[in-house]
Structure 1
Amino acid sequence: MLPRLFHRLPHPPQAPARFLLEQFLNKLFADAIAEEELDFLDDNVFQVRVDGIPMAFDLTLKDDRLKLSPVSDRWDLRITGSAYDFMLLAARREDADTLFFQRRITTEGDTELGLYLKNFLDSLDLSDLPFSKLLEQGLQGAISMHDRLEPLGRVLQR
């Protein structure tokens, strides 16, 4: 699969990537934060791990801001999956339940917190989010690129 191809490429330092992602998520979900729709993350640590590439972080809500930090041993909910499956989920090309039942995305920890997160994501209307057109184009482009490069990734695995 393509993520193994990423092992052959140089990786950017995680701290700047986390900082940029944190800024982006706070702008993207500013309305949801203001409307207290993400309060279920307050005092909870949601850990995200992306298989195949060195990307992992803890996410929490503190002082009405989403905060990203390096992974720790203290987490309430951990979600793990490939970058491709996360993109499919974000673009709504695959249903969350399908990805979970096929174990392409896995969760561990607080089931109730996981349900809050799933319900929040299900309730999002992507067209109402800031940068929705740019976000949609970026996701579709990345998914399309993956689909075109996946055969190359299989060849390199051999």
Structure 2
Amino acid sequence: MSAALQVPALFAKLGRRIPPPLVSMHCVAALELARRFKWLLPPQELDGRSFAITVEDLGLRSCFAVRDGAFRPVWNGAPSDLELGAKLADLLSLMRAETDADTLFFQRRLRISGDTELGLIVKNWLDAAPRPTWLQRSGAASV
């Protein structure tokens, strides 16, 4: 899928100009919506932990935390416990369960830094999370 979705470099330049709190607010709104529909319920081990996701080819970085089982934006710019970064196509492939995190990581298409134990918890959680039907690509295997 990566070869099919190439984002123009101009978008990355524009994306880096968008304030991270604005990006975080939108990302957290999507995560909260998924949580409320029970598509993505964070495990207890994530409570009180902070995360950053960077969409590298768009230049977008979102920072958030899990507090009391809910996703909340992080505004202060403090370092995150776990940082994930990948291109848009790879993140979409991961969300659709077309590719697993291990494959992306070992192909150097998923960058992970920070707390390695937390990274393993997040990986196992995302691998086990059911995908809503609309997110699954037609013909893709169900998780």
Task: Report the TM-score, using the length of structure 2 for normalisation.
Answer: 0.74
Structure 1 window deviating more from structure 2 (85-94 vs 15-24): it is 15-24
Aligned equivalents of 1:50 and 1:68: distance in 2? 17
CA 1:74–1:9 in structure 2 vs 1: closer, same or farther (change >3 Å)?
Answer: closer
Deviations 1:73-95 (A, max 9, x none): 42111111111110111112222
The sequence identity of aligned pairs, in percent, is: 28
Aligned equivalents of 1:9 and 1:55: distance in 2? 9
Aligned equivalents of 2:18 and 2:136: distance in 1? 24
Tell me: higher relative CO, structure 1 or 2? Use CA pairs within 8 A at least 6 residues apart: 1
Aligned equivalents of 2:19 and 2:113: distance in 1? 27
Structure 1 window deviating more from structure 2 (93-102 vs 71-80): it is 71-80
Q: Select the residue among 21, 29, 34 that pairs with 1:23.
A: 29
- Counterpart of 2:105 in structure 1 is 100
Asked if the contact 1:52–1:82 (Cα under 8 Å) also holds between the matched residues in 2, the reply is yes
Asked if the contact 1:18–1:57 (Cα under 8 Å) also holds between the matched residues in 2, the reply is yes
Asked if the contact 1:77–1:107 (Cα under 8 Å) also holds between the matched residues in 2, the reply is yes
More helix by share: 1
Task: Report the TM-score, using the length of structure 1 for normalisation.
Answer: 0.68
Aligned equivalents of 2:14 and 2:62: distance in 1? 20
CA RMSD of aligned residues (A): 2.7
Deviations 1:68-124 (A, max 9, x none): 235724211111111111011111222221100011001011111001101101111
Deviation at 1:56, TM superposition (A): 0.5
Q: Which has the larger radius of gyration?
A: 1
Asked if the contact 1:48–1:79 (Cα under 8 Å) also holds between the matched residues in 2, the reply is yes
Which consecutive unaligned segments of at least 5 residues does structure 1 have? 141-158
Deviation at 1:44, TM superposition (A): 1.2
Asked if the contact 1:78–1:109 (Cα under 8 Å) also holds between the matched residues in 2, the reply is yes
